[in-house]
Amino acid sequence: MADEIRIGVFVCDCGSNIAGYLDVKELAEYAKTLPNVVFVRENLYTCSESGINEIKAAIKEQNLNRVVVASCTPRTHEPLFRGTCAEADLNPYLFEMVNIRDQCSWVHMQEREEGTNKAKDLIRMGVAKAALLEPQQDIQSEVDQRAMVLGGGISGMTAAMALANRGYEVTLVEKAPELGGLLLKLDKLAPADIDAPELARQQAELVRGNPNIKVYTGTTVEEVQGYIGHFKITVNTDGVQQQLPAGIIIVATGADVLRPVGLFGYDGERVINQLELEQRFRTGAFRAKHVVMIQCAGARIEERKYCSRICCMVAIKNAIEIKKRSPETTVHILYRDIQAYGVENEVLFQRAKELGVLFIKYDPARPPVVEAGRVVVHHELLGRDLDLPQDLVVLSTPLIAGEDNVKISKLLRVSLDANKFFLEGHVKLKPLDFATDGIYLCGNAHYPATVREAISQALGAASRASIPLAKGVMTVEPIVSTLVDEDACRGCGLCVALCPYGALEIVRTEKGRKVRVIPVACKGCGVCAATCYQHALTVNSYTDEQITQQISAFLSA
């Protein structure tokens, strides 16, 4: 920049939060001695109306072209001060914030002198960087207001309808020949005694009848290009490929039920899993006088550590169903813990006991042994072995990650957890979003869920997805990765592989393979810039030069 740099520094007392622990007067005096600083002001509260007005007045009267505020955390007040600069016709990205509260006064409350010296260092560094800041413009990107839902089970159908009912066009892709997912294979849902396949068919009818939803069954996803607001998904139906556009994607691809070959003598005939039991209910093939159910068959063990959440209640539901059909049939449930969590399930657990279902606790160190005609189990509470007669053993097996999860995670560039279920952006605060913008998650694809939970999550994912759809335009801060030296870029792709947000891609240019940044997807984390050994990439407002100058400024004390 040819013009003279004129920096205004505003040092905040923050009431007593800073002034009570640091010598703010000294900091203000010190700031005056720094290079390029032409104006310094100490404020009681820089964020107050009077403080804001002072900044605006100073920008105009002193012709400031950079502003530094030394106060609290940018997390709360950076947008405010940037806005203030903008109101005074100064580009908001010519503003730098120095945190001398959370990162200084608050952690050095008993060290006034050292704290003040540290604040001086921080201000000196902030001023050094401010001198090198360049004006930036917010990045705008239009959002394709169409949605894509992957998976046509209860989650996918619910999410699709939630968006369609608000007027958005939705494409629903399902790899099976018909909609319905796992519901089609179940018998009844407890406690309301709902017929599962019937529910699936009703929902499918609603989906097909909704003019805003286009359904593709027998269809798989082959390729996904683009980013939030601009996805292009290539699907394959019977060998025919098409490219479908969408602004957002919802992953509702469900999970599979484990068939525990090698465990407890599983053979699909005499030793079956709960899904197979429910199918026997439907076909009339259920006929047993002595049923033994074994919980945690293939779950909560070394090879598969998680608890599959729903299997205890599935077993209880099916045990009650058996007792309803033939009250004389003995039913034993061998368990480790009964996971009847929540408001409704204890009632069912109680009901099962009233109907004569017997619950036997076993120690995972001494699992039950299935033999012809009997199950031998060490009753943990009685302290002795029991010989239970059986003509049918039902294993409660966990839901396992869908076989396509790895493929889909690669196509979408989203994360999987250790068990290959899809991983949400934040376990507490973003349970339905992926870390990658524009892609959302619900149902069994995320983690085993009951039908009720799946419906709830699907609505939630639709809600999250509707935010960018409703806005129609995405505005992104320009603090993003930028290719500053195209010649230096060798197209090695290391940055692309490391980017957690799918914000980089390698493209063919006349100069060969080069990286291209997708600003809308970039979060400015800096991993790419730190990785690039050619220094071809840098992050706006955190350039190599700016950071180097900050370090020099620090060392020049």
Question: Pick from 1, 16, 63, 403: which binds other proteins (CB under 8 A)?
Answer: 16
Task: Give the residue among 94, 48, 93 at the shortest CA–CA distance from 72.
Answer: 48
Mark the segment that binds other proteins (CB under 8 A) among 281-289, 319-327, 342-350, 408-416.
342-350
Question: Quick check: helix, strand or coil at residue 474?
Answer: strand
Q: How far is 533 from 493, CA to CA, in rounded Å?
A: 12
Site string for other proteins, 292-331 (x = CB under 8 A): --------x----xxx-x----------------------
- CB burial of 273-308 (b: ≥16 within 10 Å; e: otherwise) equals bbbbbbbbbeeeebebebbbbbbbbbbbeeebebbb
CA quadruple 402, 404, 405, 408: dihedral positive or negative? negative
Give the total of residues touching other proteins (CB under 8 A). Answer: 69
Q: Which two tokens stand for residue 370?
A: 């299935």
**What length is written for the chain?**
557
Least spacing, CB of residue 283 vs other proteins, in Å? 25
Least spacing, CB of residue 513 vs other proteins, in Å? 39
Quick count: other Cβ atoms within 10 Å of Cβ 187?
19
How far does CA 372 lie from the centroid of its chain? 47
Mark the segment that binds other proteins (CB under 8 A) among 97-105, 203-211, 223-231, 474-482.
203-211
According to the binding rule CB under 8 A, does residue 415 interact with other proteins? no
Question: Pick from 466, 482, 538, 543: which binds other proteins (CB under 8 A)?
Answer: 466
How far does CA 409 lie from the centroid of its chain? 13
Bridge partners of 273, per DSSP, are 395
Least spacing, CB of residue 549 vs other proteins, in Å? 33
Confirm if 78 and 102 have CB atoms less than 8 A apart.
no
Question: Pick from 205, 346, 354, 485: which binds other proteins (CB under 8 A)?
Answer: 346
Question: Quick check: helix, strand or coil at residue 448?
Answer: coil
Q: Which two tokens stand for residue 174?
A: 């399902």
How far does CA 13 lie from the centroid of its chain? 38
Residue 496's H or E segment, with its range, is: helix 494-498
Task: Give the residue among 160, 146, 136 at the shortest CA–CA distance from 215.
Answer: 160
Question: Pick from 372, 428, 487, 507: which binds other proteins (CB under 8 A)?
Answer: 428
According to the binding rule CB under 8 A, does residue 87 interact with other proteins? no
Q: Would you say 391 or 417 has its CB closer to other proteins? A: 417
Mark the segment that binds other proteins (CB under 8 A) among 61-69, 284-292, 341-349, 534-542.
341-349
Contacts of 521 (CB under 8 A, 6+ apart): 227, 228, 436, 437, 438, 501, 502, 503
Question: Pick from 192, 365, 507, 555: which binds other proteins (CB under 8 A)?
Answer: 192
Site string for other proteins, 356-395 (x = CB under 8 A): -----x-x----------------xx-x------------
Q: How far is 318 from 278, CA to CA, in rounded Å?
A: 8
- Torsion angles phi and psi, residue 518, rounded to 5: -105, 95
Mark the segment that binds other proteins (CB under 8 A) among 14-22, 129-137, 220-228, 260-268.
14-22
Q: Would you say 276 or 278 has its CB closer to other proteins? A: 278
Least spacing, CB of residue 312 vs other proteins, in Å? 9
Q: Would you say 300 or 490 has its CB closer to other proteins? A: 300
Residue ranges in contact with other proteins by CB under 8 A? 14-17, 44-45, 47-48, 162, 164-168, 189, 191-192, 194, 199, 209-212, 300, 305-307, 309, 337-347, 350, 361, 363, 380-381, 383, 417, 421, 427-432, 446-447, 451-453, 455-464, 466
